[in-house]
Amino acid sequence: MPERGLLELRGLEKRFGGVTAVTNLNMSVREGDIHALIGPNGSGKTTTLNVISGIYRADGGSIAFQGTELSGMRPHAITASGVARTFQNIRLFAQLSALENVMIGRHPRTKTGFFGALVPGGATAREERDTRERAHELLAFVGLPDIAHAQARSLPYGDQRRVEIARALATEPRLLLLDEPAAGMNARETTDLIGLLRRIRDRGITLLLIEHDMNLVMTVSDRITVLNFGTHIAEGVPADVSRNPDVIAAYLGGAADVA
C-alpha cells in the first residue's frame, strides 16, 4: 500500500481483559472507494469499527484519518471531524420521527446554542429551516420521501436502516462506516441498497462497510479487507480476495461459491 489512504490503520490493538479482539491490524481505505471489511464471526470487524468511531479506545496502534490521529478522541469529536457510522443493531431515536432523527444528524454542522434558541427568527430560524430542508432531502435521497413524520420505531426494518443511513449522512461525513447495512433485508431491499451505496459514493463519500452478504460485497466493493482472529489476512480487489487460499481456508470454502 504505497499511497496514503483517507483512513490508515497501523498496528491497531484492542483487548477486552485477556481476550484479544484486534491485533496488529493494518488497513488502508482509499478516498472514493467502497471498501468492505469481511471475515468470519468473531474476527474483530465490529470491534474495529467501534475503535475507529471512538466507542472503544484502542490499546495500541494508530488510526489516521486525513492525517489526523483519531485514537483518544471522543466519539462526538470523531463524528465532527468527518467520520459517521450506523449500527449493526439499529440505534435510531425510537420515539422520535424519522425527520427528527435525521435533523439530529445535523448537530455537528449547526450552531444554535441555549441563548440562540431563545431568540425566535433571525439566524436561529434560518438554521432551523435549513436543518429541516436538508433532512427532507436526505430522506428522499435514501428513498424514503414520504415517511418523514412516522415514528422511527413504527417503520419496517429495512426503512429503519435507511433512516439510519440518512441520519449518518446528515453529519456530512467524508467517511461513512456501515455495520451490516443489509442485515435483515430481503433480496429486493438489498438490490436497492447496492444502488444507494453507489449513489453515496458518487457524492464523494468514502464507504467502509462490514457485511455478511457476499453477493453484495462482491458486487459493490472496490476493495476488500479480510479479517480473521483480529488481524487482516488479505486485502485487495474482490476477484483477488475471493481466490486467496487463506481467505478460502478462513471461510472453510464459503468464499469458493462466490469465486
Partner 1 sequence: MKSRSFLLALLIIALASLVPVVFRGNDYVLNLFVVAGVYAIVVMGLGILLGFAGQLSLAQAAFFGIGAYTSAFLTTRVSWNFWEALPVAVLASALVALAVGYPSLRQLSGHYLALATIGFGIIAQLVLINWKAFSNGSDGITGIPAPAIGSYTFDSYGAYFYIVLAFVVLTAYITARLKATRVGRAMHAIRENEMAANAMGIDATKYKILAFVLAGAYAGLAGSLLAHSIKFISPDSYSFDQSVVFLVMLILGGSSSIGGAILGAVILTFLPEVLRPLKNSYIMVYGAAVIAMIIFMPQGLAGLFGVLKRRFARA
Residues that bind partner 1 (CB under 8 A): 53-55, 74-77, 79-80, 84-85, 87, 91-96, 100, 103-108, 110-114, 116-118, 120, 124, 127-128, 131, 167-168, 170-171
Nearer to partner 1, 178 or 247 (CB): 178
Question: 116 or 195: whose CB is closer to partner 1?
Answer: 116
94 or 259, CB closer to partner 1? 94
Least Å distance, CB 21 to partner 1, is 18
Going by C-beta distance under 8 Å and a sequence separation of 6 or more, which residues neighbour residue 148?
97, 98, 99, 135, 136, 139
Closer of 55 and 233 to partner 1 (Cβ): 55
Q: Can you name the residues that pair with 179 across neighbouring β-strands?
A: 210
Burial class (CB in 10 A: 0-12, 13-18, 19+), 26: middle
Q: What is d(CA 126, CA 254) in angstroms, rounded to the nearest whole number?
A: 53
Shortest distance (Å) from residue 20 CB to partner 1: 23
Provide, rounded to whole angstroms, the least separation between the CB of residue 145 and partner 1.
21
Cα 240 from Cα 190, distance rounded (Å): 24
Minimum CB separation from partner 1 for residue 11, in Å? 25
> Least distance to partner 1 from the beta carbon of 189, Å?
22
Q: How far, in Å, CA of 151 to CA of 78, rounded?
A: 28
Of the candidates 13, 1, 61, the residue with the CA atom closest to the CA atom of residue 231: 13
Angle at 8 between CA 35 and CA 11, to 5 degrees: 115
Give the residue with the Cβ less far from partner 1, 46 or 131: 131
